């Protein structure tokens, strides 16, 4: 049938805009126009100026006059048309109409173009240049591309391009990069510092007497954008390009912070139930690339979110930076999606939901990075505090360039009280988080702004004030020069470190003789040549060392380092002196110092220690050998060093002897094999201890087993204040009188290896009676208990477990507010996991009016490793009575929650401990007692739940489940034999199905739960069992599993097949083996072998077929399994007179189906490309 006709357009297109003609010569020109909406094509109407579009005066594309219509141009995307055959020195006019199925548009504007006179020069060309976006006075160097440069259509004269600025004090005369006869060039310029507008004039001259010039002008304006907008005047909103979605952002008197309140901006949504919000971008973008520091602050007040007591409500503000200002359809995702866009931002949200205690007057904040394709987020910080919901918050977001491709993001939310005039404290403050975002660093322009919204079903307002934006290019911090190393008679390596701050992209290393000043003419270069005017430039951002060669022996030098980036240079570092060795001296090999290890738990498995800073001392021609020894081989029997010369790092591995404890000194030796000064040694202490399960804190010495850190508080031993009758000792947490964060962190000085811990538990008793017994006001206590990968606090100590280091833990919170019944002795408990980047929490359990709040409580936490990097975590809370001696009564327990935490698993050091903190305004103590730690490192348990499944003719699937307890296996060993052999040596079966082995076969995957075995005998009974392996150590086994394979059905003989299909007609010679009963071209014997019915035409899908596959012919066919009398043999050839099975490969043979038929795939002996022709077929042999 003919193709369907296109649907007619709904309406005629819009009128196009005609543009000036180009390539104008004595007899030709090219007309141009802009695209018109809805256009399917165009009509170009060209006449002489004298004819002025009169009827019958139009010209064809070849210049033929007298046309009744203009020139038709197909396609809405064609925007130019060349016309030839014109007359010299003649003025022409043209206009354009757009057309589609609904008709044609009105004509465009009219363009006048005059052809040149005979012999005239064609003027040069240069594309128009748009006015440049608004610049700041301190903008870095900018560039503009010049395009369309030529000597004119058909001309080839050499060109001279010049450029000038009308106001050099604003924009100095740009630098021109152009070489004739190129068609493109570049202008480079940088603001001089003054504000205003300068007109830039670019002229192209082809050197001819006439028509030799073309000039283009454009403007560059320079303006210092306001540092902050205070919204005191309605005109302040002009600083923003505002996009509203079912909401509005307006300036309002008295809506801002202050006493009395000043002006502010107010966001209000329409409350339609659909998303609403406002995006407000600063009208003036900030020039890039490579800003070193970007910062925004905005004041926000969510007081109306607190007014809805019966329905949920929220307000939020997002503020940040992006590489372009294209607004997405989903407005709130401006900072976190968009192809070709790069952005960073901070989100601050206030949320209150009367029906959800986890959203009870909550303030949340986090940073987000969008790298053009992927959104990544920093940890979300949360605080729940109704008392500050009506306050003004100063929200600060900072993006610091800390590399050539990454930013360090951080935020801070500060409480300035109800009127915004007094700092009351910090509500939320993040740790710095690094994100890769090369696109934003390289962006030519940076757009700053904010987005506000509220709960879609409400009209609650969000109040905004004092929006500050800074996009700066800040010089880097001053580096620190450190001691030189690899010092030889004629060389040394200078080294330095870079402190935190704006990142450098280059360094200058200045080295001079020790007695000389750091002045021009005294510097030496990296090749040792003196008299240099400047130091050595290091152009690699990550480089922290520089080698100086060809120096005289026994000579002293000093060096210092300076950092540079696009904003300038840092100060000079400290100076470090170094002296080259005596002539002929050997430089000792190098090896960095190795710190003593913390206490290692006995039976904790293999310990690894990195070896760094390895070299031959700077000789660069010596082989370095690294060895290690222990002064206590009974404790550390085997030390292994993984090091390959000339690498600069290696690895030391050792495993404490099973069941042994004690102290050993390990000495690592680097030896370069020379006669003198050949050895460098580093020693460190290893202490292997028996883990003490419980610490009762009955003496001050117990506290020495912990690393203890505290802020505005103390955690110390207190005799007679713990649990028991009479009371024993305890650790007492006392808060300072200051209204600040009171927090203490206690970590056991005992190191475990997470990679070999299958399960662990910990518990802690505590008494928080001062919280529920407060007379008036409010108080709270929070305890985080669990395991963490680093024995050090975070920058914000109370967040050590949940926002600093990889960890698994339980968080317990008890709060009491005498003025709020919803917080009357309120208990909240939840398990959580932090992977170093994100905190994942399980659902929170809550208990209100907690009557036992003043008793001694015991919090228990347990994890079981259930996968490669997955953990099942649970907790329990018990009431131990007023003195801690009552039979523990279960108050609350958490259902096991699964967490994935690869960084926690990968860390070979984990520590047990707890964090305790209290209400900022509180100052009464808490007590902690009986800290129990049970980290399991026993041998692997035997697998369980063994079962045999999925039986086929020659095999089955073996199933099992790894033991829940015990150390993690490294693999499994499967022992399989015939049922009657009883696992005797020499009767075990290999994974291939072959018997006669003394041992079972190994499975290296520690998480394997099944194995598919083939090659066994049909109808035979087998037994199998599985052992868990840890290295060479095997677990016990459970009872073996009996598995009997199905018997193999016997294939019928040919005579039996004849009787089945030809009963009553067996005397007919057409039923014999080589006859063709059905006349279909297939002998009966072949149909028998292939399992086909001789009375019906064979279905083509069941016949043998040959197809190309992976460069070979392959023959696929179906046959009866276990034919008793004949063989079906595939053969191939290149010459049909000579068939052979030699070289053919059987790719697969399927299991027989319910009819006893199996499918066979056979590959030819030769690739298709290697032969002119190949054939394949089946041969039957009796």
Q: Distance (Å, rounded) from C-alpha 184 to C-alpha 178?
A: 7
The residue that leads in pLDDT, 140 or 985, is: 985
**CB neighbour list of residue 11: distance below 8 Å, 6 or more residues apart:** 38, 102
- Which helix (H) or strand (E) covers residue 801, if one does? helix 800-803
> Reduced to 3 states, what is the DSSP secondary structure of residue 247?
strand
For residues 806 and 880, state if they share a domain.
yes
Residues in Cβ contact with 514 at an 8 Å cutoff, skipping those fewer than 6 apart: 556, 557, 558, 577, 579
CA dist., res. 199 & res. 134, Å (int) = 13
Report how far residue 406's alpha carbon sits from residue 577's, in angstroms, rounded to the nearest whole number.
Answer: 34
pLDDT recorded at residue 966: 53
Question: Does residue 826 sit in the same domain as residue 911?
Answer: yes
The DSSP annotation for 273-340 comes to SS--EEEEEESS-EE-S--SEEEEEEEEE-GGGGG-SSS-EEEEEEEEEES--PPPSSGGGTTT--TT
In a domain, 596, yes or no: no
| Nearest C-alpha neighbor of 609 from the set 623, 624, 593, 625 | 593
Q: Do 675 and 707 sit in the same domain of this protein?
A: no
- Same domain? For 1084 and 1024 the reply is no
Same domain for 1097 and 1004: no
Residue 591 lies in a domain: no
d(CA 912, CA 935): 9
User: Looking at residue 739, what is its pLDDT?
Assistant: 62
Q: Does 750 map to a domain?
A: yes
Give the model's pLDDT for residue 906. Answer: 82
> In whole angstroms, what separates CA 443 from the centre of its chain?
20
3-state secondary structure 844-885: CEEECCCCCCCCEEEEEEEEEECCCCEEEEEEEEEECCCCCC
Residues 681, 627 share a domain: yes
Contacts of residue 1054, Cβ cutoff 8 Å, sequence gap at least 6: 1073, 1085, 1088, 1125, 1126
458 and 311 Cβ atoms separated by less than 8 Å:
yes
Mark whether 267 and 200 lie in a shared domain: no
Is 78 in contact with 54 (CB distance < 8 Å)? no
521 and 644, same domain (yes or no): no
Three-point CA angle 398, 404, 405, nearest 5°: 75
User: Is 630 part of a structural domain of the chain?
Assistant: yes
Measured in residues, the chain has a length of 1182
Q: How far apart are CA 671 and CA 1102, in angstroms?
A: 73
Kindly report which listed range (292-306, 871-885, 1076-1090) carries the lowest average pLDDT score: 1076-1090
Q: For residue 332, which phi and psi values (nearest 5 degrees)? A: -70, -10
Residue pair 336/358 in contact (Cβ under 8 Å)? The answer is no
Largest CA distance in the chain: 122
Q: How far is CA 1054 from the centre of its chain?
A: 67
Same domain for 382 and 461, yes or no, is yes
- pLDDT value for 93: 97
pLDDT, tens digit, 9 for 90 and up, residues 854-909:
999 999 999 988 777 888 899 999 999 999 999 899 999 998 899 999 999 887 78
- Is the bond preceding 260 in cis, omega lying within 30 degrees of 0? yes
pLDDT tens, position by position, 95-122:
999 999 899 999 999 999 999 998 889 9
Q: Residue 1147's pLDDT is what?
A: 86
Are residues 896 and 861 part of one domain?
A: yes
H-only helix segments in 1023-1143: 1054-1062, 1084-1090
At residue 1175, the pLDDT reads: 92
Residue-level pLDDT at 1: 43
Look at residue 2 in the predicted model and tell me its pLDDT.
Answer: 45
pLDDT digits (tens, 9 = 90+) for 1096-1120: 888 888 889 999 998 899 999 998 8
177: CATH: 2.60.40
Q: Do residue 948 and residue 929 come from a single domain?
A: no
Note whether residue 136 is domain-resident.
no
CB 999 within 8 A of CB 973: yes
Structural domain total, the chain: 8
Q: What is the CATH number of the domain that holds 572?
A: 2.60.40.10
1076 Cβ neighbours under 8 A, 6+ residues apart: 1070, 1082, 1083, 1084
DSSP string for 390-402: TSEEEEEEEEEE-
Predicted model pTM:
0.51
Mean pLDDT of the chain, nearest integer: 90
Residue percentage of the chain with pLDDT more than 90:
57
Burial 302-320 (b: 16+ CB within 10 A, else e): bbbbbebeeebbbbbbbbb
Q: Are 187 and 141 in contact (CB under 8 A)?
A: no
DSSP 58: B
pLDDT per position as a tens digit, 73-82: 999 899 999 9
Say yes or no: 340 and 269 in one domain: yes
Instruction: For residues 192 and 196, give the distance between their C-alpha atoms in angstroms, rounded to a whole number.
Output: 11
Task: Output the CA torsion 999→1004→1009→1010 (10° steps).
Answer: -60
Q: Please give the pLDDT value at position 3.
A: 45
Does 822 or 215 have the greater pLDDT score?
215
Q: Cα separation of 176 and 204, whole Å?
A: 12
pLDDT digits (tens, 9 = 90+) for 244-279: 999 999 999 999 999 999 999 999 999 888 899 999
Per-residue pLDDT of 738-780, as tens digits, reads 666 789 999 998 888 777 777 788 999 999 999 998 888 888 9
Domain end position, chosen among 201, 222, 243: 222
Tell me which residue range forms the domain holding 186.
142-222
Question: Is residue 765 included in any domain, yes or no?
Answer: yes
**Is residue 794 very low, low, confident or very high in pLDDT (cuts 50, 70, 90)?**
confident
* Cβ–Cβ under 8 Å, residues 771 and 816: yes
From the number of C-beta atoms within 10 Å of its C-beta (0-12, 13-18, 19+), residue 1169 rates as exposed
Q: Give the end of a domain, one of 171, 201, 222.
A: 222
CATH number of the CATH domain containing 289: 2.60.120
Which has the closest alpha carbon to 218: 288, 159, 135, 124?
A: 135
The residue behind tokens 């499944």 is: 949
Q: Per the structure block, which two tokens stand in for 107?
A: 């004509």
Q: What is the mean pLDDT of residues 592-610?
A: 84
Cα separation, 128 vs 216, in Å, equals: 6
Q: What is the DSSP string of 510-578?
A: EEEETTS-SSTTSB--TT----BSS-EEE--TT--EEEE-SPPTT-EEEEEEEEEETTEE------EEE
Instruction: Tell me the C-alpha distance between 703 and 719, whole Å.
Output: 12
For 848-862, b where at least 16 C-beta lie within 10 A, e where not — what string? eebebbbbbbbbbbb
Q: What is the pLDDT of residues 670-682, one digit of tens each?
A: 999 999 999 999 9
Which of 472, 494, 515 is where one domain is finished?
472
**Band (404; pLDDT cuts 50, 70, 90):** confident
pLDDT tens string 484-521: 999 999 999 999 999 877 778 889 999 999 999 999 99
Closest C-alpha to 975, from 958, 952, 955, 951: 958
Instruction: Return the pLDDT at 314.
Output: 92
The dihedrals phi and psi of 904, each to the nearest 5 degrees, come to -65, -45
Give Cα 852 distance to the centre of its chain. Answer: 46
What's residue 402's pLDDT?
Answer: 80
Q: Is 572 inside any structural domain?
A: yes
CB atoms near residue 16 (< 10 Å): 24
In a domain, residue 419? The reply is: yes
pLDDT exceeds cutoff 90 at 664: yes
């Amino acid at each position: 049938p003919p193709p369907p006709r296109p649907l007619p357009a709904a309406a005629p297109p819009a009128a196009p805009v005609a543009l000036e003609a180009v390539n104008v010569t004595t007899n030709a020109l090219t007309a141009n126009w802009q695209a018109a909406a809805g256009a399917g094509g165009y009509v170009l109407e060209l006449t002489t100026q004298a004819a002025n579009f009169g009827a019958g005066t139009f010209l064809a594309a070849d210049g033929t006059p007298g046309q009744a219509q203009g020139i038709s141009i197909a396609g809405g995307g064609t925007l130019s048309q060349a016309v030839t055959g014109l007359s010299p020195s003649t003025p022409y006019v043209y206009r354009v109409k757009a057309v589609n199925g609904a008709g044609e548009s009105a004509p465009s504007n009219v363009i006048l173009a005059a052809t040149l006179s005979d012999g005239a020069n064609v003027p040069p060309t240069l594309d128009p240049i748009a006015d440049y976006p608004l610049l700041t006075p301190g903008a870095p160097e900018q560039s503009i591309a010049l395009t369309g440069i030529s000597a004119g259509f058909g001309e080839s004269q050499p060109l001279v391009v010049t450029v000038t600025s009308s106001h050099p004090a604003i924009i100095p005369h740009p630098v021109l990069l152009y070489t004739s006869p190129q068609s493109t060039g570049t202008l480079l310029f940088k603001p001089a510092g003054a504000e205003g507008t300068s007109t830039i004039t670019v002229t192209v001259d082809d050197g001819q007497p006439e028509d030799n010039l073309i000039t283009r002008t454009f403007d560059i304006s320079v303006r210092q954008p306001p540092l902050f907008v205070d919204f005191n005047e309605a005109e302040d909103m002009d600083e923003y390009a505002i996009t509203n979605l079912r909401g509005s952002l307006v300036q309002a008197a008295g809506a801002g912070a202050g006493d009395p309140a000043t002006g502010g901006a107010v966001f209000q949504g329409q409350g339609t139930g659909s998303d609403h919000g406002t995006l407000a971008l600063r009208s003036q973008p900030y020039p890039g690339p490579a800003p070193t520091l970007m910062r925004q602050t905005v004041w926000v007040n969510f007081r109306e979110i607190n007014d809805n007591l019966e329905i949920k409500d929220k307000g939020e503000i997002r503020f940040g930076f992006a590489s372009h200002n294209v607004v997405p359809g989903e407005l709130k995702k401006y900072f976190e999606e968009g192809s070709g866009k790069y952005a960073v931002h901070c989100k601050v949200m206030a949320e209150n939901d009367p029906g959800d205690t986890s959203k009870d007057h909550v303030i949340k904040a986090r940073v987000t990075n969008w790298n053009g394709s992927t959104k990544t987020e920093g940890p979300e910080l949360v605080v729940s505090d109704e008392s500050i919901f009506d306050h003004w918050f100063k929200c600060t977001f900072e993006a610091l360039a800390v590399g050539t491709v990454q930013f360090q993001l951080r935020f801070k939310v500060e409480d300035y009280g109800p009127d915004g005039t007094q700092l009351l404290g910090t509500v939320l403050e993040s740790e710095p988080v690094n994100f890769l975002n090369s696109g934003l660093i390289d962006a030519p322009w940076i757009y700053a702004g904010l987005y506000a919204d509220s709960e879609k079903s409400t009209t609650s307002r969000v109040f905004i004030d004092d929006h500050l934006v800074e996009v700066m290019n800040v010089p880097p911090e001053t580096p620190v020069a450190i001691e030189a190393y690899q010092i030889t008679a004629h060389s040394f390596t200078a080294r330095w470190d870079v402190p935190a701050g704006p990142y450098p992209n280059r360094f200058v290393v200045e080295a001079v003789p020790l007695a000389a000043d750091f002045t021009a003419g005294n510097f030496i270069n990296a090749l040792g040549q003196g008299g240099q005017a400047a130091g050595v430039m290091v152009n690699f951002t990550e480089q922290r060392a520089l080698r100086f060669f060809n120096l005289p022996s026994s000579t002293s030098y000093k060096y210092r380092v300076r950092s540079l980036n696009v904003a300038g240079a840092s100060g000079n570092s400290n100076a470090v002196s170094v002296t080259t060795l005596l002539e002929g001296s050997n430089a000792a090999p190098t090896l960095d110092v190795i710190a003593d290890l913390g206490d290692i738990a006995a039976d904790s498995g293999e310990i690894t220690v990195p070896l760094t800073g390895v070299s031959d001392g700077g000789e660069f021609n010596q082989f370095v050998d690294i060895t290690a020894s222990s002064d206590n081989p009974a404790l550390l029997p085997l030390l292994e060093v993984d090091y390959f010369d000339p690498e600069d790092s290696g690895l030391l591995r050792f495993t404490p002897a099973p069941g042994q404890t004690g102290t050993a000194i390990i000495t690592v030796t680097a030896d370069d094999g020379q006669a003198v000064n050949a050895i460098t040694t580093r020693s460190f202490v290893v202490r292997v201890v028996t883990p003490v399960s419980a610490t009762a804190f009955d003496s001050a010495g117990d506290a020495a087993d912990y690393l203890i850190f505290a802020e505005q508080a103390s955690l110390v031993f207190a005799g007679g204040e713990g649990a028991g009758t009479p009371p024993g000792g305890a650790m007492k947490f006392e808060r300072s009188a200051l209204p600040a964060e009171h927090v203490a962190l206690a970590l056991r000085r005992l190191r475990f290896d997470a990679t070999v811990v299958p399960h662990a538990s910990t518990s802690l008793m505590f008494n928080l009676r001062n919280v529920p017994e407060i007379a008036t006001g409010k108080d709270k206590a929070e305890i985080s208990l669990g395991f963490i990968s680093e024995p050090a606090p975070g920058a914000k100590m109370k967040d050590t477990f949940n926002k600093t280091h990889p960890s698994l833990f339980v968080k317990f919170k008890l709060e009491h507010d005498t003025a709020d019944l919803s917080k009357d002795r309120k208990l909240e408990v939840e398990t959580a996991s932090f992977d170093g980047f994100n905190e994942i929490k399980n659902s929170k359990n809550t208990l209100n009016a907690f009557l036992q709040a003043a008793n001694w409580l015991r919090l228990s936490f347990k994890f079981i490793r259930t996968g490669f990097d997955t953990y099942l975590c649970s907790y329990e809370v018990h009431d131990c009575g007023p003195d801690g001696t009552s039979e523990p009564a279960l108050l609350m327990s958490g259902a096991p929650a699964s967490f994935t935490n690869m960084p926690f698993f990968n860390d070979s050091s984990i520590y047990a401990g707890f964090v305790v903190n209290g209400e900022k305004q509180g100052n009464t103590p808490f007590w902690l007692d009986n800290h129990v730690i049970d980290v399991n490192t026993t041998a692997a348990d035997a697998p369980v739940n063994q079962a045999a499944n999925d039986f086929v003719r020659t095999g089955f699937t073996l199933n099992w489940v790894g033991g829940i307890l015990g150390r993690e296996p490294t693999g499994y060993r499967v022992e399989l034999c015939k049922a009657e052999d009883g696992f005797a040596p020499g009767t075990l079966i290999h994974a291939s199905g072959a018997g006669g082995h003394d041992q079972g076969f190994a499975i290296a995957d520690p998480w394997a739960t099944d194995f598919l075995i083939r090659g066994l005998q049909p109808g035979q009974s087998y037994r199998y069992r599985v052992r868990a392996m840890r290295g060479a150590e095997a677990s016990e086994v459970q009872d073996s599993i009996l598995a009997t394979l199905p018997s193999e059905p016997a294939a019928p003989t040919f005579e039996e097949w004849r009787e089945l299909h030809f009963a009553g007609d067996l005397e007919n010679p057409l039923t014999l083996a080589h006859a063709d009963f059905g006349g279909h071209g297939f002998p009966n014997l072949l149909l028998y072998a292939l399992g086909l019915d001789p009375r019906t035409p064979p279905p083509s899908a069941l016949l043998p077929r040959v197809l190309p596959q992976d460069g070979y012919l392959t023959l696929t066919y179906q046959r009866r399994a276990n034919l008793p009398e004949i063989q079906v043999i595939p053969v191939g050839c290149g010459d049909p007179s000579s068939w052979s099975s030699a070289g053919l490969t059987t790719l697969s043979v399927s299991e027989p189906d319910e009819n006893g038929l199996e499918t066979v795939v056979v590959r030819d002996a030769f690739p298709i490309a290697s032969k002119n022709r190949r054939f394949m077929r089946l041969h039957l042999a009796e």
